[in-house]
């Protein structure tokens, strides 16, 4: 396992690999790796000749009141996990390496796609994500980049960015990995107290309720949202940020009756910890 902290160093290695015809898979992460990240790394190493995992807690996607300073940092364990799932290179730059000039040039996907859901609660978030992912794409020049459906809005925003800016790569999206009881894996789950961890199960049970209503023919989005909200309301430790349905791919308004492919996305606080989860309701 090679750890590169400098852009020049990783570029030199990857230029050589590309010249000898090797494909490059990139798995961008903020570290604190878990089985969700492992599924992306394993998919990349199954398909691409070289798998690069980037570990960078990107300051520009955090608002001043968010958890940048306390975001979990577990580099030694991350190295083990990445290597065990087939990664050959970890790109581990510091902030000065990726943001050498203070105020950066922003890459921003505009329109409703970045204004609804997490874009509403976290107005600067996606601009930070698209800026850092563009930097990573330009440094690594991957053949494929792997992302999780766990961050469903991020996936749609990045797909639009790749289309609009003609990045020459394939974006691969993989399913949400969950604990055996249904909680979606997240680096932030470690913030939860025992009682908050138990309460957080309400996310996946609520989404399952929605899925079964939809499977039984319910196509009224208001009814599905009420079902989810009522179920979350049974959990005292849960405070809803949003529970919404938007039509895919571009997060346009959902029709009634629902048609095509719709994203049901939730963001809920348990204490100070904000967790997100989602399902796709496919008509």
Which residues are tagged catalytic?
37
Residue 236: exposed, middle, or buried by beta-carbon count in 10 A (0-12, 13-18, 19+)?
exposed
Name the one range near ligand AMP by CB under 6 A: 2-10, 33-41, 73-81, 228-236. Answer: 33-41
d(CA 237, CA 240): 10
Instruction: Please give the structure tokens belonging to residue 79.
Output: 């190295």
Residues between 142 and 161 that touch ligand AMP (CB under 6 A): 147-148, 150-151
**CA-wise closest residue to 127 among 115, 136, 142, 144:** 115
Residue number with CB closer to ligand AMP (227 or 268): 268
d(CA 4, CA 7): 8
Residue number with CB closer to ligand AMP (128 or 221): 128
**CA-wise closest residue to 201 among 279, 151, 275:** 275
Beta bridge partners of 253: 246
Query: Which helix (H) or strand (E) covers residue 4, if one does?
Result: strand 2-4
Cβ of residue 80: shortest distance to ligand AMP, in angstroms? Answer: 16
Residue number with CB closer to ligand AMP (25 or 221): 25
Residue nearest to ligand AMP (CB): 148
Name the one range near ligand AMP by CB under 6 A: 1-9, 31-39, 241-249, 251-259. Answer: 31-39
**CA-wise closest residue to 89 among 3, 185, 194:** 3
Task: Please tell me whether residue 104 adopts helix, strand or coil conformation.
Answer: coil
d(CA 165, CA 213): 39
Total site size for ligand AMP, rule CB under 6 A: 16
Cβ of residue 243: shortest distance to ligand AMP, in angstroms? Answer: 19
Residues between 37 and 76 that touch ligand AMP (CB under 6 A): 37, 39-40
Instruction: Please give the structure tokens belonging to residue 152.
Output: 């469903």
85 binds ligand AMP (CB under 6 A): no
Question: Mask 97-136, x = binds ligand AMP (CB under 6 A)?
Answer: ----------------------------------------
Question: Mask 176-205, x = binds ligand AMP (CB under 6 A)?
Answer: xx------xxxx------------------
Q: Concatenated DSSP letters for 263-279?
A: EEEEEEEETTEEEEEEE
Contact residues for ligand AMP (CB under 6 A)?
29-30, 36-37, 39-40, 147-148, 150-151, 176-177, 184-187
């Amino acid at each position: 396992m090679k750890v590169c902290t400098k852009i020049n160093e990783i570029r030199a290695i990857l230029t050589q690999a590309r010249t000898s015809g090797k494909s490059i898979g990139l798995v961008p992460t903020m570290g604190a790796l878990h089985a969700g990240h492992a599924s992306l790394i394993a998919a990349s190493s199954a398909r691409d000749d070289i798998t690069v995992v980037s570990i960078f807690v990107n300051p520009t996607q955090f608002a001043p009141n968010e958890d940048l300073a306390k975001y979990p940092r577990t580099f030694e364990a991350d190295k083990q996990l990445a290597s065990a799932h087939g990664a050959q290179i970890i790109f581990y730059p510091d902030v000065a390496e990726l943001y050498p000039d203070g105020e950066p040039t922003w890459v921003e996907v505009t329109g409703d796609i970045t204004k609804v859901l997490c874009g509403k609660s976290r107005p600067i978030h996606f601009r930070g994500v698209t800026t850092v992912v563009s930097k990573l794409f330009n440094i690594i020049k991957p053949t494929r980049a792997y992302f999780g459906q766990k961050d469903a809005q991020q996936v749609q925003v990045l797909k639009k960015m790749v289309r609009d800016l003609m990045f020459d790569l394939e974006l691969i999206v993989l399913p949400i990995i969950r604990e055996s009881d249904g909680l979606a894996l997240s680096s932030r789950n470690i913030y939860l107290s025992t009682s908050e961890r138990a309460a957080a199960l309400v996310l996946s049970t609520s989404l399952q309720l929605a899925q079964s209503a939809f499977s039984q023919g319910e196509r009224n989005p208001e009814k599905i949202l009420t079902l989810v909200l009522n179920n979350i309301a049974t959990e005292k430790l849960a405070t809803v940020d949003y529970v919404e349905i938007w039509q895919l791919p571009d997060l346009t308004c959902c029709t009634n009756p629902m048609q095509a492919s719709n994203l049901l996305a939730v963001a809920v606080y348990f204490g100070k910890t904000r967790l997100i989860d989602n399902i796709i309701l496919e008509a």
